[in-house]
Amino acid sequence: MILPNYGLDSNPDGIRRVAELAEELGFDSVWATEHIIVGPEAVDPYGRVYAPLVTLGWIAGFTERIGLGTSIVLVPLHHPMHLAKEVATLQELSGGRFTLGVGMGWHLGGAPSPQPEIWVGGSSERAIRRALELGDVWHPSRGSDAEHVRRVKEQHPGLRVIPRVAAENVEAMLEAGAEGAVVAFAEEAAMRDFAGRYR
């Protein structure tokens, strides 16, 4: 479930409401996205973005069960040691509920225990290679449809694939071999309907 931590209407009350509802409805996890600087073409929807690791740390304090993930952290924009420390801290303070989704390969020094999974985003051949070599999960988004996921799963059957998709595309992704999906909802009613179908 994608958190509304971005967009002109994003606010703490909305983020908290979605996180609490996701936990109440039995969703597996909530995910925060990252954009630090966006060009004019991306102002809608990413003109305002709450920092994902800070947001997820806040959510860890008022939830108990739900997984917490980034979809994605833009690794080249962070100092590797600072990012590793933040990730290790969030993993420990959340009781091991954190999953790190990244946009590129990264280096982790002084790993937390247990180590968070690393999800690698992107739809290019390089992104898939990074997921195979450096990550635990390939986490494609808009650049991959169900047919692309099917081809990748046929080539790499051991690769775990959990795409970020619209709710109406979840079934096709699961049929293509994805092990799950990270979904964004525009409203509470859609979230409740989805939970009713997949719970």
The percent of residues above 90 in pLDDT, for the chain, comes to 70
pLDDT number for residue 107: 40
Give the pLDDT confidence score for residue 129 in this predicted structure.
Answer: 95
Query: Using an 8 Å Cβ cutoff, are 173 and 165 in contact?
Result: yes
Name residue 42's amino acid: A
Compute the distance between CA of residue 147 and CA of residue 97 in angstroms, rounded to an integer.
31
Q: What is the pLDDT of residue 112?
A: 52
Share of the chain above pLDDT 70, in %: 92
| pLDDT over 60 (residue 63) | yes
Six token digits for residue 197: 């179908």
pTM above 0.75, yes or no: no
Domains of the chain, CATH where assigned: 12-198 (3.20.20.30)
Q: In this predicted structure, what is the pLDDT of residue 126?
A: 94
* pLDDT at res. 100: 95
Question: Are 70 and 31 within 8 A, CB to CB?
Answer: yes
pLDDT at 198: 79
| Among 36-45, 140-149, 185-194, the least confident range | 36-45
More confident residue, 47 or 138: 138
